[in-house]
Amino acid sequence: MTKISIPFYELEDKLLQEQINFFNKHGFIQFKNFISREAVTILLLELNRVQRFLLESDIKKINGIPLKFGKDANGDPLIQRIAFTSYYSNTLTELLKDERLKLLLQLLGKYEGRIGEHEKDGLVFNHYVNVEESNFKQLGWHTDSPRDLFLGNRILPMLNVGLHLDDCAFDNGGLRVLPGTHKQNVFRLLFRKKYFIDNAADKKEVGFDIEAGDLTVHDGRLWHRVQQSPLKGEKSRRRVIYFPVITGSYQPKNAESPTPLYHKLGQFEFKKGIKPILISIKEQMKNNYLKRDVQ
C-alpha cells in the first residue's frame, strides 16, 4: 500500500492534455481546491439540513434507493448514505451546474457523457465515522460498473466524481484504488476480488492525501475501496458527495423506480459468494430483456 504522489492539478477553465493522459493511464485523477473551505462549510450545513428533513419526514428510500442509517458518536441518528440528495437541495443542484464539471466529460474520450443527477443513484452523500454504532466505517473492494449488468445494460464507460468534505490524509484511511484496472477485461472486472466483502489491503493499491474541497474522478471500471480510519470518533469522520458521469441512453429514475437488485442483495448475499449474484444478474438481464420486448 503506497501513497501516490499526484501532480498538483486544479480544475480551471480547460483540461490539460497532461491531465487527460494521467487519467487515461491510471483510471483516476485528483483536482485540488475545487471549492473553498467556506463553500465546504456551507455544503456541510446544507447536508445536515437535508438529513434532518429526511429523518423528520421518515423517508427511507429515494427513487427506490434505500437510505443507510446508523448512529453518530453522541448516539444521534445518522444517515450514512443518501442517494439523489440534490432532490432536497437547490444548493446541490446548482453545484452540479458548475461549468468546470463539464470539462470532465472530455475524460470519456469518444463517448458522449452527461452528469447523472437523475440516473443510477444520482448525487450520493456518503458519511463514514468510526464509532461503535456506525454502520459505515469502510467499504470493501468493488468497481462501480457491474451495477450496469444488474440493470441489464452493457458496461459502458462512466466516471464517478467525488467532492471531499473532510480532510483525510492517507494515514487516516479513505479512498484506495488499483491503478490501471479500468482497462481490464470483463472477467477481471467481475472476479478480481470478492465484491464488497474483501477489505484487505492490496500491495498494488494506492491512496491519497485529501483535503476538504478536493475533487477526485475515477473510471467506473476501476477497482477501489474505502479504508477504515485508524482513529475513532470525530477525527475519523469522512463525508464525500459523489455523482456519476454517464454515457448511453438516458435512464432517469423516479419515485416509482423499483429497488435495484444490487441494493436488495446487500452485503449478506455477497457473503454467500459470487454464484447467487451471477444467477441474479442473469435473471435481472432476462427480465429487462423481456420488458424491452414488450414495450
- Interacting residues with ligand AKG (CB under 6 A): 126, 139, 144, 162, 175, 224, 226, 240, 242
DSSP 3-state helix, strand, coil percentages of the chain (rounded to 5)?
35, 20, 45
* Among ligand AKG, Fe ion, none, residue 222 binds (CB under 5-8 Å by kind): none
> Considering only residues 48-87, where is the footprint of Fe ion by CB under 5 A?
none
For cell 437523475, name the residue. 118
Output 35 or 177, the one with its CB closest to Fe ion.
177
Q: Are strands 2-3 and 206-207 parallel, antiparallel or unpaired?
A: parallel
Strand partners for 225: 176
φ, ψ (nearest 5 deg) of residue 159: -120, 150
* Among Fe ion, ligand AKG, none, residue 139 binds (CB under 5-8 Å by kind): ligand AKG
* Among Fe ion, ligand AKG, none, residue 162 binds (CB under 5-8 Å by kind): ligand AKG
Q: Do 93 and 43 form a contact (C-beta atoms < 8 A)?
A: no
Q: Do 280 and 150 form a contact (C-beta atoms < 8 A)?
A: yes
* Among Fe ion, ligand AKG, none, residue 129 binds (CB under 5-8 Å by kind): none
Output 221 or 224, the one with its CB closest to ligand AKG.
224
Output 144 or 214, the one with its CB closest to Fe ion.
144
* Among ligand AKG, Fe ion, none, residue 173 binds (CB under 5-8 Å by kind): none
CA distance 273 to 251: 30
Strand partners for 207: 3, 176
Output 281 or 291, the one with its CB closest to Fe ion.
281
Q: How far is the CB of 142 from Fe ion (least distance, A)?
A: 6
* Among Fe ion, ligand AKG, none, residue 218 binds (CB under 5-8 Å by kind): none
Interhelix angle 261-271/274-294, nearest 10 degrees: 160
Q: How far is the CB of 242 from ligand AKG (least distance, A)?
A: 6
Q: Which three cell numbers stand for residue 120?
A: 443510477
Output 63 or 126, the one with its CB closest to Fe ion.
126
Residue facing Fe ion at closest CB distance: 144
Q: Comparing C-alpha atoms, which of 294, 161, 180 is closest to residue 240?
A: 161
CA distance 74 to 72: 5
> Considering only residues 134-193, where is the footprint of Fe ion by CB under 5 A?
144
Q: Which residues bind Fe ion (CB under 5 A)?
A: 144
